[in-house]
C-alpha cells in the first residue's frame, strides 16, 4: 500500500505532463520565482549561491559519498546484508532514473538556468536520487538502531535533504515543479520498496516452522 501511493502519483503526473495539462501550473510557479528578471531568481545573491550548494547535495558524486558512508557504517556495526542491500537499492534507483529520463525526454524549462544541465527534465534526477538515497539510507540506518530518538533523527534529516534538493531545482529553473514532484514520487516509492524487501529478508530467518 505504501509503495502504490507514490507510484500512482507518478503515473498521474506523467500522464498529465505528456498531455500538457500541467503547463499552466508549472509556468505560474516558475514565473513567480522570477518576478522581475527571467534570467535571475527572486532573492538576494547569497540565496542563489545557497541554492547552488543545496542542489549539489543531490548530485551523483555527493550521493555516492553518502552511499559509501552508509555502507561502511553498516559494515562496522556488523550489518553486512543491509550494507549490500543499501548499495543495490541506490545503484538500482540511479539506473531506473536514467531509464525514465530517456523514456520521457521532456525538454528543460525555457528559462535561463543558474546552473548547467545536460539531460532531460522529467523526472528530476536530483529529486529522485535524493529521495532514493537519503530515504533508503535513513530507513536502513534507523532500522539498525533501537533508540527511537536516533530513528527519528535519521529519517528527519533524510526527508529534509530530499525536500531541500527538490526545491532548489525549481528555484534554479533547471526543472519544472512537476519534474520534482514526479522525482519525489518515484524516488520515495523505490525507497519504500527497497526498505520493505530488506525488512522481509531480515525477518525470514527469525520465523520458525509453522505447526
Distinct helix (H) and strand (E) counts, the chain: 8, 0
Q: What is the Cα–Cα distance from 51 to 64, expressed in whole angstroms?
A: 20
State the pLDDT at residue 196.
Answer: 80
Give the model's pLDDT for residue 204: 66
pTM for the model: 0.81
Each residue of 116-171: pLDDT tens digit?
666 677 888 889 889 988 888 787 777 767 788 888 898 899 999 999 999 998 88
Q: Which of 97, 100, 99 is nearest to 89 (CA)?
A: 97
Which pLDDT value is given to residue 211?
Answer: 43
Amino acid at each position: 500500500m505504501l509503495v502504490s501511493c507514490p507510484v500512482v502519483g507518478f503515473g498521474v503526473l506523467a500522464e498529465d505532463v505528456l498531455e500538457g495539462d500541467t503547463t499552466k501550473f508549472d509556468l505560474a510557479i516558475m514565473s513567480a520565482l522570477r518576478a522581475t528578471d527571467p534570467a535571475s531568481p527572486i532573492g538576494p545573491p547569497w540565496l542563489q549561491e545557497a541554492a547552488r550548494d543545496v542542489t549539489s547535495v543531490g548530485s551523483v558524486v555527493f550521493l555516492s559519498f553518502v552511499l559509501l558512508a552508509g555502507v561502511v557504517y553498516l559494515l562496522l556495526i556488523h550489518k553486512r546484508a543491509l550494507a549490500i542491500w543499501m548499495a543495490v537499492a541506490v545503484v538500482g534507483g540511479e539506473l531506473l532514473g536514467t531509464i525514465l529520463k530517456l523514456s520521457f525526454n521532456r525538454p528543460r524549462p525555457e528559462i535561463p538556468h543558474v546552473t548547467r544541465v545536460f539531460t532531460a527534465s522529467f523526472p528530476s534526477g536530483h529529486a529522485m536520487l535524493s529521495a532514493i538515497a537519503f530515504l533508503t539510507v535513513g530507513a536502513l540506518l534507523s532500522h539498525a538502531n533501537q533508540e527511537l530518538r536516533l530513528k527519528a533523527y535519521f529519517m528527519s534529516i533524510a526527508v529534509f535533504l530530499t525536500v531541500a534538493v527538490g526545491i532548489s531545482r525549481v528555484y534554479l529553473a533547471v526543472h519544472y515543479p512537476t519534474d520534482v514532484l514526479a522525482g519525489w514520487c518515484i524516488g520515495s516509492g523505490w525507497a519504500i520498496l527497497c526498505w520493505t524487501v530488506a525488512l522481509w529478508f531480515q525477518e525470514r530467518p527469525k520465523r520458525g516452522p509453522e505447526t
